[in-house]
Structure 1
Amino acid sequence: MKTPSSDPMLSGSNNRPWLCIVVIAAPLIWAAYFFGSAVVVKEHKDRFVRWDMIETVQKGDISDHCRPRGREPLPKGVMVKTSNLELQPLWGPVIENNKQIGAERSLLTLAVGIKQKKVVNDIVRKFLRGNFTVMLFHYDGVVDEWKNLEWSSQVIHISAVNQTKWWFAKRFLHPDIVSEYEYIFLWDEDIGVENFDPTRYLMIVKDEGLEISQPALDTVKSDVHHLITARVSSSRVHRRMYKLRGQGRCDGHSTAPPCVGWVEMMVPVFSKAAWRCAWHMVQNDLIHAWGLDQLLGYCSQGDRTRKVGVVDSEYIVHLGLPTLGVIENNQTNSGSRLIDTRVNVRQRSFDEMQIFRQRWRDAVKEDQCWVDPYSTLKNGTPS
């Protein structure tokens, strides 16, 4: 029977090399295992951190204003945050124009019907000479009959039957689309421009610091509904009206619309900053925008008694022609006939105004962070 000392692996000088190998190898194996584990753990941790950072950015936890939500996967240099309404050729050399179109260009938009073709032609020709971009909103669905005008292919045509200019504006004049235009003219079609020059008008608006404005109305030839819009012949610009008798008195101490800080929704002109605000106030479903005029002063980028005004030296004629609500019916045996629904349109407009005013009151009540700069008015709304 062998004794333990007789085992050739454990006895004698011949076994010493094995012991040395074990003593030396054990720490090396342990070090390799430890280092390898550390590398694996670190790689896993780094991978986890990277995905965690991506997820954090996507969730908006990191405040990176250069990458608004939804644009996180894109490098900043390729993103184009705004656009414009300039037409581009289908062929020819590419002229890179991702930069702004120029600080001196403005935009005219008109809601038009084919029956006012002559009047619209006079307006568009005058504005195109002033280096304006022009967009026509066709509320009667007729587009082809404008093609014989020399400028037709130079302007943008959008058609939707029986929609108002405010319906079009909410959907096609988003602030990011029109941000490259200095001023946005949002006009009706029944306007005479014999005494109006858009270039001179903008010079006056800039000089006077008006963010929201309109040209005054010729009191002899125009259909004037609001006294503040009437032209003052001896004035360049006026910002308030005076009414010293009867209800709704206005004097030099008045601070609220319609005495001051007010323009008519027929021919408003907005700076791009004012339009960015006003666009958000336009309601998707209230297409006549009644009641909006009383609150536009909140978008005047300052004191509405100074930043909102009527330009007297460049004035227009409001022709007061029937447009929306007069429908031609071609289904009768005796030929076409006109159906006048303007009474219904007016009733809808009045109903929308009541709804809008209630929405404003509710919004003021619910928004605890909002501060009314015109707190002398109840709920910020004219009574």
Structure 2
Amino acid sequence: MTIRNYCYLLTDPVQKRACFSHYFPMAIFLCICFLVGTPYIINYKKITSEYGTGRLVLKRNSSLCENHGKPSGSETLPQGIISRTSNLEMQPMEYSLSSSSRKGKVEASKSLLAIAVGIKQKKIVNEIVKKFYASNFAVMLFHYDGAVDEWRDLDWSDSVLHVSAINQTKWWFAKRFLHPDIVAEYNYIFLWDEDLGVENFHPERYISIIEKEGLEISQPALDASKSQVHYQITARVRRGKVHRRTYKFSGGGRCYKNSTAPPCTGWVEMMAPVFSREAWRCVWHMVQNDLIHAWGLDTKLGYCAQGDRTKNVGVVDSEYIVHKGIPSLGGDSKSTTETTNHNSLSDASDASSTVCALLQMP
């Protein structure tokens, strides 16, 4: 029974008026409370809802913070189990605590030598690898002729990595087997041709020089009296340890002290480049999947100099090599017809022109 009905049931007019006068102010008060309180109740529900949403967002952000810095695809893994990089070091199949402790005493390789090789240059490659292997380099051979077993008589053969693919250049191999995450543990990557004389080259001294000079991209100078020198900047300068530019005051392609771009400064040739870890990560992304001989790529290395290319790219004169210029990666020119050679060079030139056009794009 409502208050109103109760009041109407009263028969005495005096009691009826008293009833209405007593409960009417209470009804008015309740109406006012309802009108005033409703917005607060709605706002409270909104705040509660927002608080719940906020907790959800905070929880989600907390999850994002926990996953921050994790490699893509590893977000669900515990932080302690994630191994971000790899290397090219060989591991024994039989694991034991004793072998593990012995391994820990052996200094890990700090730099990598990678060469595309053919069996015809076995003698030259042997001299190169012996020097680098003795300097605690990791070594990787890219066999473009498929002849792998023929190298097994060399002392170091079982201690280096062999990768084989018929008629592929070192840039094809490098793009596929030297991903920056795979070689991230190496300070420097030497990506060399096979026809280089290293009688006057010492890997450890070379690294010491480029570290001191701050060279992110470099190459050993060429002994001009014994080498095929295609570009003046690569020729050895006898009066110093390093040079970063060349000078040419007559003819085409002049180079002066204030020159800031190739062919005067900021690049090296591609027969014996040396990249820092950071520079290689950049260069790897610039190497196209169908790159053949890297024609034109050398002049674009300044993009990856990690700063001023006129300072961070240079040629080391005190540790120099001989570029023998031996035809390779396709066998003897005598073994193919003139037409085949012409077509192959034409195709390679067309492909390289396409790459150069891509590199010119902003």
On whether the aligned pair clears a TM of 0.5, the verdict is yes
* Alignment map for 1:202-241 (pairs within 5 Å): 202-241=207-246
Match of 1:169 in 2: 174
Task: Specify whether residues 303 and 229 from structure 1 end up closer, same or farther in structure 2 by C-alpha distance, changes over 3 A only.
Answer: same
Match of 2:141 in 1: 136
Report the Cα offset of residue 63 of structure 1: 8.5
Asked if 2 retains the 8 angstrom alpha-carbon contact of 1:290 and 1:349, the reply is no
How does the TM-score come out when normalised to structure 1? Answer: 0.74
Is residue 2:82 matched to residue 1:75?
Answer: no
Match of 2:335 in 1: 338
Match of 1:306 in 2: 311
Superposed CA offset, 1:279-336 (max 9, x none): 11001112322211111011111110010000011100001101123369xxxxxxxx
Asked if 1 retains the 8 angstrom alpha-carbon contact of 2:131 and 2:202, the reply is yes
Match of 1:353 in 2: 352
Query: 2:336 is aligned with what amino acid?
Result: I
Report the Cα offset of residue 359 of structure 1: 1.8
How many residue pairs get aligned? The number is 304
* Alignment map for 1:1-383 (pairs within 5 Å): 53=60, 64-93=67-96, 95=100, 105-326=110-331, 338-339=335-336, 341-362=340-361, 364=362
How does the TM-score come out when normalised to structure 2? Answer: 0.78
What is the aligned-residue RMSD (CA, Å)?
A: 2.7
Task: Specify whether residues 181 and 96 from structure 1 end up closer, same or farther in structure 2 by C-alpha distance, changes over 3 A only.
Answer: farther
Secondary structure in 2 aligned to 1:253?
Answer: coil
Secondary structure in 1 aligned to 2:336?
Answer: strand
Task: Specify whether residues 345 and 234 from structure 1 end up closer, same or farther in structure 2 by C-alpha distance, changes over 3 A only.
Answer: farther
Give the whole-Å Cα distance in 1 for the aligned partners of 2:207 and 2:349: 33
Give the whole-Å Cα distance in 2 for the aligned partners of 1:96 and 1:260: 48
Structure with more of its chain in helix, by fraction: 2
Task: Specify whether residues 322 and 342 from structure 1 end up closer, same or farther in structure 2 by C-alpha distance, changes over 3 A only.
Answer: farther
Structure 1: gaps of 5 or more residues: 1-44, 329-336, 365-383
Give the whole-Å Cα distance in 1 for the aligned partners of 2:232 and 2:315: 11
Report the Cα offset of residue 53 of structure 1: 4.7
Give the whole-Å Cα distance in 1 for the aligned partners of 2:187 and 2:103: 17
Give the whole-Å Cα distance in 1 for the aligned partners of 2:217 and 2:108: 18
Give the whole-Å Cα distance in 1 for the aligned partners of 2:66 and 2:270: 39
Query: 2:81 is aligned with what amino acid?
Result: V
Secondary structure in 1 aligned to 2:350?
Answer: helix
Task: Specify whether residues 159 and 103 from structure 1 end up closer, same or farther in structure 2 by C-alpha distance, changes over 3 A only.
Answer: closer
Report the Cα offset of residue 62 of structure 1: 6.7
Report the Cα offset of residue 72 of structure 1: 1.6
Give the whole-Å Cα distance in 2 for the aligned partners of 1:319 and 1:357: 26
Report the Cα offset of residue 186 of structure 1: 0.1
Query: 2:70 is aligned with what amino acid?
Result: R
Asked if 2 retains the 8 angstrom alpha-carbon contact of 1:192 and 1:316, the reply is yes
Match of 1:378 in 2: none
Larger-gyration structure (1/2): 2
Task: Specify whether residues 97 and 264 from structure 1 end up closer, same or farther in structure 2 by C-alpha distance, changes over 3 A only.
Answer: farther
Q: Report the identity percentage.
A: 60
Asked if 2 retains the 8 angstrom alpha-carbon contact of 1:138 and 1:161, the reply is yes
Superposed CA offset, 1:94-135 (max 9, x none): 528999x96871100010000000000000001111110100
Task: Specify whether residues 62 and 150 from structure 1 end up closer, same or farther in structure 2 by C-alpha distance, changes over 3 A only.
Answer: same
Task: Specify whether residues 168 and 97 from structure 1 end up closer, same or farther in structure 2 by C-alpha distance, changes over 3 A only.
Answer: farther
Secondary structure in 1 aligned to 2:168?
Answer: coil
Displaced runs of 4 or more, over 4 A: 96-99, 101-104
Give the whole-Å Cα distance in 2 for the aligned partners of 1:241 and 1:135: 33
Task: Specify whether residues 93 and 117 from structure 1 end up closer, same or farther in structure 2 by C-alpha distance, changes over 3 A only.
Answer: same
Report the Cα offset of residue 346 of structure 1: 3.0
Query: 1:192 is aligned with what amino acid?
Result: G
Superposed CA offset, 1:202-225 (max 9, x none): 111111111100000011110111
Query: 1:255 is aligned with what amino acid?
Result: T
Asked if 2 retains the 8 angstrom alpha-carbon contact of 1:211 and 1:270, the reply is yes
Task: Specify whether residues 139 and 97 from structure 1 end up closer, same or farther in structure 2 by C-alpha distance, changes over 3 A only.
Answer: farther
Asked if 2 retains the 8 angstrom alpha-carbon contact of 1:83 and 1:176, the reply is yes
Query: 2:314 is aligned with what amino acid?
Result: G
Query: 2:75 is aligned with what amino acid?
Result: E
